[in-house]
Amino acid sequence: MLALLPLLGDALPLVPTDARWIGVALGDLDAIHADHLHCERKAAQSALSLIRSYPERTDLVTAMARLAHDETRHVVQVSQLMARRQQPAAYDFGDDYAVRLRDHIRKKEPLRLLDRLLVFAVIEARSAERLQILADNLEDERARDLYASLATAEVRHRDIFLALARDTDGVTWRARAAELAEIEAEVFIDRPITARIHG
Ligand SMILES: [Fe+2]
Ligand SMILES: [Fe+2]
């Protein structure tokens, strides 16, 4: 069983979202939800990809299988919200935010595993921040409740990835988490403000 330390997230400080983002997001909720559906799908796929790469890590296999289960449930929940809103779906045209973060994953093991876990932790942390902002600002009560519950789940996922990173390299994980948080800040601040979860 994976032991989660309290306040593990302190290892991963994030710059706050630009205050203008929520106005853009509320102005095109169809785009937000359509993008969000794919974020949840990709989160499930990322978790399963770690099982493919590291089947010998039974702690990781169990944690990632459960996490992928959470994420596929989130796909269902977002899909149901979209159906209730009778809004159009959209294809996924890629997410250069995640691509730019993944560029910093080192090639050699076990550094590669450490970096993959920490990049996923960063993405979970940013997703949680954005989903909580939506929860705090949406008018529809059911959508607010859904987004608040999703934000809580993504914080828990962030801590699962951090705990796995800690158990992968107990010496350097905090320093590397701090480096990746700085890299994320550069990537994030650099982006145009759009109606996307990481936009
Ligand atoms: Fe999720
Ligand atoms: Fe998640």
Distance 146 CA to ligand 2 centre (A): 14
In a domain, 47, yes or no: yes
In a domain, 3, yes or no: no
In the predicted structure, residue 190 carries a pLDDT above the cut 90: no
Give the domain range for residue 96. Answer: 17-189
In the predicted structure, residue 139 carries a pLDDT above the cut 60: yes
**What residues are neighbours of ligand 2 (ion), with CB under 5 Å?**
43, 124, 154, 157
Nearest to 49 by CA among 32, 34, 71, 33: 71
In a domain, 2, yes or no: no
The answer to whether the CB of 153 falls within 8 A of the CB of 74 is yes
How far is CA 65 from its chain centroid?
Answer: 16
Rounded mean pLDDT of the chain? 94
In a domain, 125, yes or no: yes
* CATH number, domain containing residue 164: 1.20.1260.10
Distance 183 CA to ligand 2 centre (A): 20
In a domain, 6, yes or no: no
Give the total number of structural domains in the chain: 1
In a domain, 141, yes or no: yes
Mean pLDDT across 78-82: 98
Kindly state the percentage of the chain with pLDDT values over 70. Answer: 96
The whole-angstrom separation of Cα 27 and Cα 65 is 36
Q: Residue type at 192?
A: P
In a domain, 38, yes or no: yes
In a domain, 99, yes or no: yes
pTM of the model: 0.95
Cα dihedral: 96, 146, 77, 192 (round 10): -20
In the predicted structure, residue 94 carries a pLDDT above the cut 90: no
